[in-house]
Structure 1
Amino acid sequence: MLDIHHDKTNTDSFKMEGKCPFGGDRIGGVEGTPPTLSDWYPNRLKVELLHQNGPQANPLGEDFNYAEAFNSINLEELKNEIKSFLTTSVDWWPSDYNNYGPQMIRMAWHSAGTYRIADGRGGAGEALQRFAPINSWWDNGNTDKSRRLIWPIKQKYGSSLSWADLIVLTGNCALEIMGFPTYGFAGGRQDAWEADNATYWGPEVVHDMSKAKSPDEMVSRDKRWRGRNGNADYDLENPLAASHQALIYVNPEGPYANGDPLGSAHDIRVTFTRMAMNNEETVALIAGGHAFGKSHGMVPAAKIGVAPEIAPMEAMGLGWHNPQGKGNAEDTMTNGIEGSWTPNPMQWDNDYLTNLFKFDWEQTKSPAGALQWTPVDKNAPKTPDAHIEGQMNDLMMMTTDIALKVDPEYRAVCEKFLNDFDAFTQAFSKAWYKLTHRDMGPRERYLGPEKRNENDLLWQDPIPLADYTIIDAADVAELKKAILATDISVSDLVFTAFSSAVTHRQSDKRGGANGARLALAPQKDWEINRRTVPVVAALQKVMADFNGTDKDSKGGKQVSLADLIVLGGCAALEKAAADAGVPTEVPFTPGRRDTTQELTDIEMFTWLKPVADGFRNFLDNDFNQLAKHVAPEEMFLDKAQLLSLTSPEWVALTGGLRAMNANYDNSKHGIFTDREGVLTNDFFNVLTSTDYEWKKSDSRGMTFWLKDRTSGENRYSATRADLVFGSNSQLRAVAEVYAGKDGHQRFVKAFVKAWDKVMMLDRYDVKVAAR
């Protein structure tokens, strides 16, 4: 979610007031620096987060067509150039074993490995590894060198090849030159142009953790784990995925560097599950990735220079300066652990698992002082040094490797792979493809000749292609009449259409109305969607009447349930706008298809279930736990950002939904009108009126009454998701526009535009066709 967390001194209250944090002669939050707005008012709602990475930051311009540019590349030639580079070496950063492949696999893995299923943020899709904070996480040590090494290739292809695509493709090429058959590659990732300062990566202060003297003290300082002390079922705060701040997955030395393999297995399972991987995929990725290359730990961490984001100017964006010896090659320092997992680190084979299970392992320490493991049997195979010719070194395992051996479930997967190398190869190939493509969304976004089109990849949320003729404008008009002729209210139609579309996440392009998953488990069973069930049933009857029993009737035309749900909302809004005196045509683009229950991964879609949804005035029963850290309006902002809404779109969309009573339970919160179901601007008129005053109706300030100043009578009720549009200065400024004398028509136009945007967010079939 967005980085909108803050500590509340009273968890039973949602007071959002700030206070001056400075006194005396200080002029800033840090001595000698001017204070920021967030310094002055740390609990303010950061509405500006909706306008991140805007067109002003993009040097390519809004008209640049990346798909067209990428498709102009000869992918085979590009891959050959990358592979040729990988087997070279430069003096300023020599390659291990004269092969850059392993460090490029790590670069690609860490770029993709920030993905998390809870909110879809992270991943390789925008090459955010180039920017803070990710570029300066300790776990990304020396990935800055990897990107700088492939800059000449990026420079040659310019805007036709995004950093995001190049990073992943380079990882694929690295695997291939070492004998591994990759499952495929799809381009289509478009770069971000500024740092992501919005995503919430965790509550810890990194320096607080680094000051801890022992693992026990680290536990006491750690704020992201719930119930870790003495509780076998401890869990990670949502939506986080990494086990600790500034890591991609877990600490390779074990939780808090305590060397505990079973504790490490627990953290691995939680972390990889949060990153959408099951047990088999987890083992395949770890065992597959550790078949190559080595880890670096020749210099104590205290001797390494600062991260890229705070490095001196003359470093030109490179960090982690190593002052010892050569500063690289045999003196390289990355994560502190030193050594290789296999005797042949440049070849795809099963030696990692063979050696892990064949030998007993004992804890030792690297030259940098990090915990690691070496074989007890001194006759175990050795591994050649990456730089010193003729030198042979002991094999190495991390605590996270030993975890795969001691955890019963992981061990069973390892033994399966030990006995069937082909199955291991296939599992790693598909898991790597999933890892590096998970955040790309539907296959319509995939580019290039190596993309995979199979329907067996359930994580891609497949929707079967239409084998019928799509409805045309005349059919749309006929269906609108049929829908409005039912006994479904306009409010219910709008609520159902919006509920179908609002699951979309711009972060990983999942969810949305396409597929009609609103009618399938798990979405049909969510409490927030109960109001949609009878509406969907009625629309299914309209669909059956239109489609008929003969598939070839009506010239082969059919309407999908997905289209019909959205069309019902559009028809209802046109009626509501006309009833308000502002006749309006609501855009509708047919072509959505229906998917099946078999093609719907229930577990993965359960992650889309909202804990809070201000659009529909919903708070889940689990929200009370979350409420200790975040207020409902902050979750509302988070959802608006996942829908890629601007602040005016957010305001207009909410006002229209309130006019239509799109509350999940038909409650009257925020329904500031006596003309429910009519597209008025009454919500804004009441919200900005000085004839009333608002009073808390509960001790925590979650709900409110609007009292008439003259009579003292309660007029309307509201939640924090309603009043935020009058209390927040930036949102109120927009609300006042829609409440003005000339605001009604402007509001209806803005609402319809925002509505259509949300309905079309997942229509990548249309967006790709338009490119």
Structure 2
Amino acid sequence: MNASTPTDTAKGGTCPVIHGGMTSAGTSSTGWWPQALKLEILAQHDTKTNPMGAGFNYREALKSLDIEGLKADMRALMTDSQDWWPADWGHYGGLMIRMAWHSAGSYRIADGRGGGGTGNQRFAPLNSWPDNVSLDKARRLLWPLKKKYGNAVSWADLMILAGTIAYETMGLEPFGFGFGREDIWAPEIDTYWGSETDWLAPSGSEGTRYSGERDLENPLAAVMMGLIYVNPEGVDGNPDPLKTAHDMRVTFARMAMDDEETAALTAGGHTVGKCHGNGDASALGPEPEAAGVEAQGFGWVNPGGTGVGPDAITSGIEGAWTSNPTVFDMGYFDMLFDHEWELAKSPAGAWQWEPVSIAEEDRPLDVADPTRRHNPIMTDADMALKVDPDYRRIMEGFRADPARFKDAFARAWFKLTHRDMGPKARYFGPDVPAEELLWQDPVPQGPTDYDVAALKEWIAGSGLTTRALVSTAWDSARTFRASDMRGGANGSRIRLAPMKDWEGNEPERLGRVIGVLASLADSVGASLADTIVLAGNVAIEQAAAAAGFPIEVPFTPGRGDASAQQTDAESFEPLEPLHDGYRNWLKADFAVSPAELMLDRTQLMGLTAPEMTVLVGGMRVLGTNHGNSELGMFTEREGVLSTDFFVNLVDMGNRWEKMEDGHYAVIDRASGETRWTASELDLTFGANSILRAYGEVYAQDDNQQKFVEDFVAAWTKVMNADRFDLA
């Protein structure tokens, strides 16, 4: 082509990019098969998306952080009002608290996902949720500090610190603060936020999250798509404080808070700041993800008046809760209980409660004009604290003892903003509280000076089978969730209630094995937690040797044994496994396929698709199926760490036929005899093209040693997932 005769690719149809193929509206290469298993959930935080590189260690970077300098700059920021987004009453405290609150408040205990531990508020969908209107401005106000302190502080830490420093500058003594939250660099596609296709869809709409008598779908906590907690206007936007109290109790419980913590957080959160609804909410521009490039990541542009300050619109409710919205005091309690309240509409058309009568001097000042005053407001959630008997009792107790309230709020705020960080060992900095809290799942330091070699010999001679040892170690470790760093083998909580009685842990077998291992642990002065893991390692070493590939499974002592007093049994209930594809077990039928359940479990454990594949293949031939099931045990050599699962899965000398019970027969084509039986999940590793590709690697004649080495590496990763002391 002559360079002097340019081609108009836009008009000529020769554009080299598949049109729309790089946007959400584009059709992917797998879009033709909507039921196909999608493995992206296991690669969402691939190192290729991380600009910091594999060598970056955030905890090491934190050691260079000038923490006192950062806190001083953060305090100065609070009152350094910017013309492009002026601070209410000259103080950004309310905005920063809301940003931190909504970052942390997306956490839910059922699967440990959400929360402020990853900085995910920077990405969709959270950056564009209706409940997060204007928080894009809060993050942009923090940019000068992120720019200055750079890699030494993550966005996740910075956002939570901003809320804590805001409270401090308003008069609250914080309970403490821990750095250590590491940023992600892409949206979290693993988190299920609900099935609704519309923001703020009422509960009667198709696909919403309620069934029966206001039963909220698990694992969800928020009452609507696009909200963090409850609807401030009332259930489905209809004011009724008693109904809202029910929603609050359920929602906050699913975020790991009890009634006292719920009351403290609501009261303390509404002691400062204000709601914004002075204008036409329908006139707001699109959210950040839908805005044009000229918006540069901003959303919800308000064309009304100045669009900022007194003209800002977020929730649609308009007004402050107290007379002194930049001071953390007891004014919220006085305002709520010393006045009668009636329903009113904000300028944006939202339901809110306003006082029937109030002295002029008790009305809060305008955010920009000190010559004007406005009525205070309460949301339906605030009124719930007054009319619900249990909440009211707690609130009256707080009002009678301000010191108790401030301590309760400081502790609840600390829990809210640190709940998804995991054990205290992951916290960094001078403000980490010395007190150990039950919700941090404390584990004492275990011994390291015992004779590991002698303990291994005794385990080998204990008479316990490979199946029993590997299953017990796996069950102890599999509860780990990378989402909130809870669970795992450290602490040996598998011997305590409620874990010891979980069906998935096979209580009879578990009790028998624990009894033997506890005796051996006592003999050498080891922790039971270490002994359980070491026992699994011993069994794997024996199985690898039987396959002709002797190998030593890495082991580092130091796990401790948590006591029942150090274990919040109720909070551990959501960790109960109801399915485990690694042990070929489903407690009941689910709405999604066994393979999808497997991917969810695998992602929570922090494993990749190749690691999942090699672990399944190894666990099957080691005979670790739940209940001694023989499904998927494609081997004549149970207990040998062989590649038989993959060899026989891809062997075209077999055919597969569905049986009446829903399982599958693996039939020898030549003889017509059934060689093995399989679950749907087993056959997924041969039917899914990506998983089959992984399986074929291990079925090759030259990769038997690779299989053993890869299995041991993945096994060790699971066993050490909660060893934060090794990081």
2:600 corresponds in structure 1 to 638
Q: Does residue 1:309 correspond to 2:269, yes or no?
A: no
Deviation at 1:27, TM superposition (A): 8.6
Q: Which amino acid aligns with 1:679?
A: L
Task: Note the residue ranges of structure 1 that are not aligned, 5 or more in a row.
Answer: 1-25, 547-557
1:383 corresponds in structure 2 to 364
Deviation at 1:327, TM superposition (A): 0.6
1:588 corresponds in structure 2 to 555
1:316-715 maps to which residues of 2 (within 5 A)? 316-379=296-359, 381-455=362-436, 457-466=437-446, 469-471=447-449, 475-530=451-506, 531-546=509-524, 558-621=525-588, 624=589, 627-628=590-591, 630-698=592-660, 701=662, 703-715=663-675
Paired residues of 2:126 and 2:132 also in contact (CA < 8 A): yes
1:114-165 deviations in Å (ceiling 9; x for gaps): 1111111111111110011110001000000001011111100011111111
Q: Does residue 1:263 correspond to 2:255, yes or no?
A: no
Q: Which amino acid aligns with 2:576?
A: K
1:738 corresponds in structure 2 to 698
Q: Does residue 1:221 correspond to 2:206, yes or no?
A: yes
- What CA distance in whole angstroms lies between the structure 1 residues aligned with 2:619 and 2:716? 13
Q: Does residue 1:173 correspond to 2:165, yes or no?
A: yes
SS at match of 1:150: helix
Deviation at 1:71, TM superposition (A): 2.2
Deviation at 1:709, TM superposition (A): 2.4
Change (3 A) 1:30 1:503: closer
Moved more, 66-75 or 480-489: 66-75
Paired residues of 1:29 and 1:39 also in contact (CA < 8 A): no
Identity %: 51
**Which of 216, 221, 227 matches 1:236?**
216
1:57 corresponds in structure 2 to 49
Q: Which amino acid aligns with 2:49?
A: A
SS at match of 1:607: helix
1:727 corresponds in structure 2 to 687
2:27 corresponds in structure 1 to 35
1:287 corresponds in structure 2 to 267
- What CA distance in whole angstroms lies between the structure 1 residues aligned with 2:179 and 2:719? 26
1:513-538 deviations in Å (ceiling 9; x for gaps): 00001111111110111232211111
Task: Note the residue ranges of structure 2 that are not aligned, 5 or more in a row.
Answer: 1-17
- What CA distance in whole angstroms lies between the structure 2 residues aligned with 1:534 and 1:269? 40
Deviation at 1:222, TM superposition (A): 4.6
- What CA distance in whole angstroms lies between the structure 1 residues aligned with 2:718 and 2:23? 45
Q: Which amino acid aligns with 2:679?
A: T
1:417-464 deviations in Å (ceiling 9; x for gaps): 111111111110000001111111111111110012322x11100012
Q: Which amino acid aligns with 2:706?
A: R
Deviation at 1:283, TM superposition (A): 0.7
**Which of 81, 84, 90 matches 1:89?**
81
1:689-745 deviations in Å (ceiling 9; x for gaps): 11222222246x4x2222222333322122122111111111110001111111221
Deviation at 1:378, TM superposition (A): 4.2
Deviation at 1:666, TM superposition (A): 1.1
Deviation at 1:637, TM superposition (A): 0.5
1:53-132 maps to which residues of 2 (within 5 A)? 53-132=45-124
Q: Which amino acid aligns with 2:246?
A: H
Q: Which amino acid aligns with 1:267?
A: D
- What CA distance in whole angstroms lies between the structure 2 residues aligned with 1:471 and 1:658? 35
Paired residues of 2:339 and 2:358 also in contact (CA < 8 A): no
2:11 corresponds in structure 1 to none
Paired residues of 1:543 and 1:559 also in contact (CA < 8 A): yes
TM-score normalised to the size of structure 2? 0.95
Q: Which amino acid aligns with 1:503?
A: T
Deviation at 1:404, TM superposition (A): 1.4
Paired residues of 1:27 and 1:35 also in contact (CA < 8 A): no
Q: Which amino acid aligns with 2:229?
A: Y
Q: Which protein has greater RCO, CA pairs closer than 8 Å, 6+ apart?
A: 1
Paired residues of 2:504 and 2:579 also in contact (CA < 8 A): no
- What CA distance in whole angstroms lies between the structure 1 residues aligned with 2:609 and 2:646? 15
SS at match of 2:315: coil
SS at match of 2:364: strand
Q: Which amino acid aligns with 1:225?
A: Y
SS at match of 1:394: coil
SS at match of 1:384: coil
Q: Which amino acid aligns with 1:131?
A: F
The root-mean-square deviation of aligned C-alpha atoms, in Å, is 1.8
- What CA distance in whole angstroms lies between the structure 2 residues aligned with 1:402 and 1:410? 10
- What CA distance in whole angstroms lies between the structure 2 residues aligned with 1:532 and 1:221? 44
- What CA distance in whole angstroms lies between the structure 1 residues aligned with 2:533 and 2:665? 34
Paired residues of 2:194 and 2:220 also in contact (CA < 8 A): yes
Deviation at 1:28, TM superposition (A): 7.8
Paired residues of 2:504 and 2:578 also in contact (CA < 8 A): no
Moved more, 493-502 or 253-262: 253-262
SS at match of 2:666: strand
